[in-house]
């Protein structure tokens, strides 16, 4: 099984270890992982800013680069949503490209959904002694319906106890460019979310989306909270020896 990894720009730039964790998990499934070099960004910043032309310009080469593979996996709910839901909409006036976008959409999965779908009982070999809270990104939860899969995967990590967040379905306030366009409101939303994380008693917070995690981790750090923040893949791959998001590098 060959799997193309669309690593997503935030993982590429800010959290490569989450990308390598995804590779490790996919390889444990027996997949051959390919990272097509033509990838940069899925175009969401342009799309959500109303610049549909730029979004299409970024989408076309990506559709060409990824559409060739039988399986495309993305360690981000929001970028998966872009590929799966929004690419076909973006090209509704261009039948040829729409058909290509639909093909790509059908082959693309968010990482945890792919792992839950293809993984057996023994591909996760990780342990973590402590409580872990899962934060669902809005796109994973509502656009893709990914909710049970990450929890089922976390249940396979030995020693790990899952806790749920209060008001879990509320957005963390990241929202791509929203967090810099409306910093007051975004700040208030992430403050509420971080309070819920702190109140949950979790030792770790995980999510499938680095955007949410940088936002919430940044706030937890500002609060002085000891909760550590990782991408879901890092915990599943047993890579919690890497400094958590926003944590100092090890000397």
Partner 1 sequence: MKPTSHAFSNNAHRALHDKTLQQALAKAGVGFVDKRRAAIDGLPEFQALRQAGKRIKDHTLANLDHYLLRFEAQVQASGGQVHWAETPEQACVAVLDICRNANAKMVAKGKSMVGEEIAVNDALEAAGFEVVETDLGEYIIQIAHEPPSHIIAPAVHKTRGQIAELFEKLHHQPGLTRPLETVPQIVDEARQVLREKFLASDVGITGANFLIAETGSTVIVTNEGNGDLSATLPRVHIVLASIEKVVPNLEDAAVLLRLLARSATGQEITSYTTFFTGPRRADDPDGPEQFHVVLVDNGRSRMLGGDYHEMLRCIRCGACLNHCPVYSAVGGHAYGWVYPGPMGAVLTPLMVGLQEGRPLPNASTLCGRCEEVCPMSIPLPRMLREHRRQEFARRLTPPRARWALAAWAYFARRPELYRQASRIAIKLLNLLAGGNGRFRSMLFAQAWTAARDLPAPQGDTFMAQWKQRRKP
Q: Which of 157, 161, 152 is nearest to 132 (CA)?
A: 161
Q: C-beta of 189: minimal distance to partner 1 in Å?
A: 5
- Closer of 29 and 223 to partner 1 (Cβ): 223
Distances (CA, A) of 82 to 9, 41, 78: 13, 11, 6
Which one of 27, 29, 52, 161 is in contact with partner 1 (CB under 8 A)?
52
Site for partner 1 in 209-238 (CB under 8 A): 214-215, 217-219, 221-222
End-to-end CA distance of the chain: 39
- Closer of 30 and 61 to partner 1 (Cβ): 61
Per DSSP, 239 falls in state -
Which region among 146-154, 176-184, 197-205, 232-240 touches partner 1 (by CB under 8 A)?
176-184
Q: Which structure tokens are listed for 120? A: 């057996």
Q: How far apart are CA 52 and CA 91, in angstroms?
A: 10
- Closer of 158 and 177 to partner 1 (Cβ): 177
Which one of 2, 94, 106, 181 is in contact with partner 1 (CB under 8 A)?
181
Q: How many CB atoms are located within 10 Å of the residue 14 CB?
A: 14
Site for partner 1 in 32-51 (CB under 8 A): 35, 37-41, 43, 45-51
Which one of 106, 130, 170, 199 is in contact with partner 1 (CB under 8 A)?
170
Q: What is the DSSP secondary-structure string of 31-70?
A: PEEE--TT----SHHHHHTT-HHHHHHHHHHHHHHHTTSS
Q: C-beta of 177: minimal distance to partner 1 in Å?
A: 8
Q: Is 142 in the site for partner 1 (CB under 8 A)?
A: yes
Q: How many CB atoms are located within 10 Å of the residue 20 CB?
A: 17
Q: What is the DSSP secondary-structure string of 70-84?
A: SEEEES-HHHHHIII
Which one of 1, 129, 152, 185 is in contact with partner 1 (CB under 8 A)?
185
Q: Is 180 in the site for partner 1 (CB under 8 A)?
A: yes
Q: Is the separation of the CB atoms in 1 and 32 below 8 Å?
A: yes
Task: Give me the residue label for tokens 């509704």.
Answer: 92
- Closer of 34 and 161 to partner 1 (Cβ): 34
What residues line the site for partner 1 (CB under 8 A)? 7, 11-17, 19-20, 35, 37-41, 43, 45-52, 54, 57-58, 61, 89, 138-139, 142-143, 169-171, 173-191, 214-215, 217-219, 221-222, 243, 245-249, 251
């Amino acid at each position: 099984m060959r799997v193309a990894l669309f690593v997503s720009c935030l993982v590429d730039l800010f959290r490569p270890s989450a990308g390598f964790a995804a590779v490790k998990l996919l390889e444990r499934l027996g997949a051959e992982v390919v990272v097509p070099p033509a990838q940069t960004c899925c175009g969401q910043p342009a799309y959500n800013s109303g610049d549909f032309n730029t979004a299409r310009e970024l989408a076309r080469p990506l559709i060409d680069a990824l559409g060739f593979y039988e399986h495309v996996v993305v360690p981000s709910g929001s970028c998966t949503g872009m590929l799966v839901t929004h690419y076909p909409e973006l090209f509704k006036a261009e039948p040829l490209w729409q058909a290509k976008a639909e093909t790509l959409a059908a082959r693309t999965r968010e990482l945890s959904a792919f792992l839950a779908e293809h993984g057996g009982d023994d591909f996760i070999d990780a342990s973590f002694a402590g409580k872990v809270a899962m934060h669902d990104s809005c796109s994973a939860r509502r656009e893709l319906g990914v909710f049970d899969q990450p929890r089922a995967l976390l249940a396979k990590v030995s020693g790990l106890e899952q806790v749920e967040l209060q008001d879990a379905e509320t957005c963390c306030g990241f929202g791509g460019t929203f967090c810099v366009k409306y910093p007051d409101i975004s700040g208030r939303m992430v403050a509420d979310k971080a309070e819920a994380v702190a109140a949950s008693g979790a030792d770790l917070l995980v999510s499938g989306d680095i955007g949410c995690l940088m936002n919430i981790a940044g706030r937890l750090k500002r609060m002085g909270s000891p909760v550590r923040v990782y991408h879901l893949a890092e915990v599943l791959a047993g890579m919690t020896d890497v400094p958590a998001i926003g944590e100092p590098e090890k000397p």
